[in-house]
Amino acid sequence: MIIQNADYPLVISDQLALILIHEIEQHSEVDISSGCIINFRDPDFSVERNGYHPVEIRLNKLGRVQYIANFAYVGDGHEDELVKELDFNFDYCKFQHRGREYPISLCAELFNVWQSNFCAYYLCKVFNVTIQAIANCQHQQRPCQLVGLVGSKRSCDQA
């Protein structure tokens, strides 16, 4: 699979694209013809010890990133639960932080910092990586409407 890292509302770095390609090659036994979900997990991550946040990246069958989700524990004491902390949804041009939704265009700086940190953590080999195939289904997310291109970014309508 070739990872598409152009024509997005935020810039997907070449380094992140290469990480995704590397992991797909390492898990060649998984049939990704309908797309896949790549999970990056720190085996030591827990509510007590913290650690590196789990990350989930979904690719469609064309190698386009549909979303990137970063998880964290929230709650107090025995009520802690693992939830999406950051959700960069490229198909819907939306960004969510702990359930609050924003236009993805407002989080470019945050995404760049997150992406840089994630790539650095990956290179430090803190994650166990798994890939699962996406069953071929009829559900289609609404893609962003192409309003204009700026470098390798795609602008999204704000409506």
Task: Give the max Cα distance, the chain.
Answer: 48
The two structure tokens encoding residue 75: 């709650």
Grouping H, G, I as helix, E, B as strand and the rest as coil, residue 121 is helix
Q: What is the reported pLDDT for 142? A: 43
Q: What is the reported pLDDT for 5? A: 85
Tokens 């490229």 belong to 90
Q: What is the reported pLDDT for 74? A: 84
Distance in angstroms (rounded) separating the CA atoms of residues 36 and 18: 16
Q: What is the reported pLDDT for 136? A: 57
Distance in angstroms (rounded) separating the CA atoms of residues 33 and 31: 6
Q: What is the reported pLDDT for 6? A: 86
Domains (ranges, CATH) in the chain?
14-134+141-154 (3.10.450.430)
Q: What is the reported pLDDT for 73? A: 86
**What's the sign of the alpha-carbon dihedral 20, 24, 26, 27?**
positive
Q: What is the reported pLDDT for 135? A: 80
pLDDT in tens, 133-149: 998 554 444 444 333 32
pLDDT in tens, 76-87: 777 788 889 999
CA angle, 83 as apex, 53 and 77 as ends, to 5°?
Answer: 90
Residues of the chain with pLDDT under 50: 138-159
